[in-house]
Structure 1
Amino acid sequence: MKMNDVCEERCIHEDTVRKVKEEMLPDEVFNHVSDDFKVLGDRTRVKMLFALSQEELCVCDLSNILGLSESAISHQLRQLRNRNMVKYRREGKMAYYSLADQHVVQFLKMGVEHARE
């Protein structure tokens, strides 16, 4: 069986390789992105981010929306907080969560758009 998705001849395009190598980012940037993708690898956390992209919500609200225990929601929120994807504010005895910044919104939108293609 012949593979059509690999080069049949070994050839390094020196100019192209040099240009790409010059633009490569430090490993710590790729580590950070990879860790973010790991956190987003969980369907529940992605659903939470989507819900939070619609409205600021408390743990009780998220629990009701997703049909999970408040303990499970808190655990997932902690992971999202650790990756700076969500933030919270206190109002009396309530803690309201929202997306940390527009980057998270863009990340989520791109993922949804890609999934719909």
Structure 2
Amino acid sequence: MSGSLQLSGAHRSQQPDADERLRNDERLETAAGILVLLADRTRLALMQRLGEGEADVTTLTEACGAARPSVSQHLSKLRLAGLVTTRKDGRRVVYALRHGHLRRLVNEALNVADHQISGLPPHD
């Protein structure tokens, strides 16, 4: 008896499907984590402002109306999750969105909110 296992054609064709399901599960889990982070009003406001361009903590505090320590904590969570990046500009730390997908995601969520608030019909 041989030590290697031969898979039939049917089993080989199912393997990519299993791998695909695992990748999709990972995508769904990651997306759910991102949406959980964005489900906070302050973090959503920070992401909305960062969608307009990079900003420091002072600018972001003014934009979202939260206390500076709270803004710093929210920014730390967004940074640790990989949603925002930082760079030093002298003594200031400047924040930016990691990529445009996040800007579009936030904008689309706000567009849905606009439609729900105003009663506008949905569209593609």
Question: Which range, TM-score by smaller chain?
Answer: 0.7 to 0.9
Q: Which residues in structure 2 correspond to 1:1-117 (within 5 Å)?
A: 25-117=23-115
Q: Of the two, which has the highest radius of gyration?
A: 2
Q: 1:28, 1:44 → 2: CA distance?
A: 27
* Corresponding position of 2:121: none
- What letter is aligned with 2:29? N
Q: TM-score, normalised by structure 1?
A: 0.73
- What letter is aligned with 2:72? S
C-alpha RMSD of the superposition: 1.8
The number of aligned residues is: 97
Q: TM-score, normalised by structure 2?
A: 0.70
Please give the per-residue CA displacement for 1:55-99, whole angstroms capped at 9, x wherever unaligned. Answer: 321111111222222211110001111222111110110111111
Unpaired segments ≥5 residues, structure 2: 1-16, 116-124
Q: 1:101, 1:26 → 2: CA distance?
A: 21
Q: 1:92, 1:99 → 2: CA distance?
A: 20
- What letter is aligned with 1:81? R
Q: Between 21-30 and 79-88, report the one with greater CA deviation.
A: 21-30
Identity of aligned residues (%): 25
Unpaired segments ≥5 residues, structure 1: 1-20
